[in-house]
Structures are given as C-alpha cells and as structure tokens.
C-alpha cells in the first residue's frame, strides 16, 4: 500500500547494471525486445525500478537456460492471460455466490 517504492522508476542504467550484473548492452537489448520498459528523463536517460531489477534477474536466468527473448516475451504474456483468466473465473464465482443470496 501507500508509496510503492518497488515500482517507482528512478534508477539509472549504470546502477541497474551493478545490481543485476548484466551489461548495459544487454539491458538495452532486452528493452528493444520488449522485455523491459524503463521510463525516460526529459533528457532521454532511462530510469528503472526495483521491480525491473527483479524482472531482469528473472530474464537473465531464462536466457542462461537457453531460452530466446521472444520465448520469454511469449511466456510473460501467457502468464498475464492466465492471471486474467483466474480473475475472470474468480469474479464469476463471486457473482454466482452473490446472486444466490438475493
């Protein structure tokens, strides 16, 4: 709740590189492949969040396992769809339960 530090985009790429152990080249490339979405300062400098650090470490693990960027992207989307599906089913059940009571 309240101020969510984890998702505030405030960290520059140099620090992200240190935090993740990934080269700046890799980090920029994963953005090009739509795996990560930094914000930009008015001057054009990329800004990342702690959540991005976690995501990058996850990406790095999958790359090490021989996965390709498009597969990782597809996997993320599938996860999204699954959670949307879960939400939808949950809402449906709640509605059903609610309708029984009235």
Partner DNA sequence: CGTGTAAGGAATTCTGACACG
Q: Using CB under 7 A, pick the residue from 10, 21, 45, 81 that binds DNA.
A: 45
39 binds, among DNA, its own copies, none (CB under 5 to 8 A by kind): none
CA distances from 55 to 31, 74, 86, 91 (A): 12, 15, 22, 28
Q: Does 75 bind DNA (CB under 7 A)?
A: no
Q: Does 30 bind DNA (CB under 7 A)?
A: yes
Q: Does 10 bind its own copies (CB under 8 A)?
A: yes
Cβ burial 62-75 (10 Å sphere, 16+ → b, else e): ebeeeeebeebeee
Q: Using CB under 8 A, pick the residue from 8, 26, 28, 62 that binds its own copies.
A: 8
Q: Where are the alpha helices (DSSP H) in the chain?
A: 13-20, 24-32, 50-64, 69-101
Q: Using CB under 7 A, pick the residue from 2, 7, 44, 96 that binds DNA.
A: 44
Q: Give 43 or 102: the residue with its C-beta nearer to DNA.
A: 43
# chain residues binding DNA, by CB under 7 A: 22
Q: Which of 36, 32, 35 is nearest to 11 (CA)?
A: 36
């Amino acid at each position: 709740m309240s101020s969510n530090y984890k998702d505030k985009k405030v960290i520059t790429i140099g620090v992200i590189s240190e935090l993740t152990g990934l080269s700046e080249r890799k980090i920029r490339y994963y953005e090009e492949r739509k795996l990560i979405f930094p914000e930009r300062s008015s001057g054009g400098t990329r800004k990342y969040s702690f959540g991005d650090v976690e995501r990058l470490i996850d990406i790095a693990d999958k790359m090490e396992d021989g996965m390709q960027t498009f597969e990782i992207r597809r996997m993320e989307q599938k996860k999204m769809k699954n959670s949307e599906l879960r939400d939808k089913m949950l809402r449906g059940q709640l509605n059903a339960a609610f309708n029984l009571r009235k």
